[in-house]
Amino acid sequence: MVNYRIFNAKEFVAAGAGTSGSLESAWGVMRGSAVCSGSVTLEGFVTPSGSTPVSTRSTLKLESLAQGEPIPCYVRSITVTSGTAYLLA
């Protein structure tokens, strides 16, 4: 088990059509509730390919994460459609 140092956590609770947001200097994500769905967009870069830029950003589904376990990743944004999730910094 790794001892993560969490100095800041921002809670995202689904409301209505969902909740989106981000947190500066986020280093991870954690699923907060047993029933949780949505996605996390990871940092990447956009490379110019001729006139059409190509994005290398990936996404994680919140429902595939274990509840209460911090997942280290470079987070760009989060969208929670049901339940609760946290961005960690």
Domain extents in the chain: 18-45+53-88
29 and 69 in contact (C-beta within 8 Å)? no
- pLDDT for 2: 62
Sequence-distant (6+) residues with CB within 8 A of 29 are 40, 60, 62, 65, 70, 71, 73, 75, 78, 85, 86, 87, 88
DSSP designation for 66: P
The predicted model scores a pTM of 0.81
pLDDT tens for each residue of 42-80: 988 767 666 677 777 889 999 999 999 999 999 999 999
- pLDDT for 9: 87
pLDDT tens for each residue of 1-21: 566 677 788 999 998 778 999
- pLDDT for 7: 78
